[in-house]
Amino acid sequence: MTTTCLVVMGVSGSGKSTVARELADRLGWQMAEADEFHPEANIAKMRAGTPLTDDDREPWLRKLRDWITEHDEHGEDTVVACSALKRRYRDLLRESTARVRFVHLSGTGQVIGDRLAERSDHFMPPGLLGSQFDALEPLADDEDGTAVDVSGTPEQITDTALRALGLQEDAR
């Protein structure tokens, strides 16, 4: 049976790690943090304040796609926190054998920038937020998934996403 992978997407600081953790806990699904799949060179680049290119992101996305497929082959549903900013990146993740659905955490540069400014334990400099918005192609209507505004609490965002995806009953 095909499993589901929920990819929590959005710009840096939109709350992907936080909401993906909450979704995974509520659903009892395994979670992956895409930041942990980056080669060291990508992390060094971001830390130095340089945005990644499509070429930098491709091997990273392939690795994630393969992780999703491996879990699908074992019948395991998954949640992944991954920026997946462009539609072609999401197409690559959709090459997985699982049913890949997206939760786009959308918010203004103001709200997200304020949260990034408060976060101190992360390699991603707040100064890269502009480039993240420049690259962002929001989840489109013909893509499987839902967009949720980030102004609520992580619990509210998770509830809204689960309801929109029709997964609420499984979660309780």
Told to check if 81 binds ligand GCO by CB under 6 A, we report no
Residue, CB closest to ligand GCO: 83
Contact 124, 12 (CB under 8 A): yes
Question: Distance between CA atoms of 33 and 142, rounded to whole angstroms?
Answer: 26
Told to check if 35 binds ligand ATP by CB under 6 A, we report yes
Give CA angle at 88 (2, 117), nearest 5°.
100
Binding segment (CB under 6 A) for ligand ATP, from list 51-59, 65-73, 119-127, 163-171:
119-127
Q: What's the chain's length in residues?
A: 172
Single residue of 95, 117, 119, 138 touching ligand ATP by CB under 6 A = 119
Question: Which of ligand GCO, ligand ATP, none does residue 52 bind to, with CB < 5 to 8 Å depending on kind?
Answer: ligand GCO
Question: Distance between CA atoms of 80 and 67, rounded to whole angstroms?
Answer: 10
Shortest separation between residue 124's beta carbon and ligand GCO, angstroms: 4
The distance from CA 138 to its chain's CA centroid, rounded to whole angstroms, is: 12
Measured from the CB atom, the residue of 35 and 143 that comes closer to ligand GCO is 35
Name the 3-class secondary structure at 15. coil
φ/ψ of 100, rounded to 5, equals -95, 120
Told to check if 14 binds ligand ATP by CB under 6 A, we report yes
Q: Give burial (CB, 10 Å; 0-12/13-18/19+) of 162.
A: buried
Measured from the CB atom, the residue of 32 and 124 that comes closer to ligand GCO is 124
Question: Site mask, ligand GCO, residues 21-60, x = CB under 6 A?
Answer: --------------x----------------x----x---
Question: Distance between CA atoms of 10 and 54, rounded to whole angstroms?
Answer: 16
Residues lying near ligand ATP in the complex (CB under 6 A) are found at 10, 12-18, 35, 81, 83, 115, 119, 122, 124, 150, 153-154, 157
Residues lying near ligand GCO in the complex (CB under 6 A) are found at 12, 35, 52, 57, 83, 85, 124
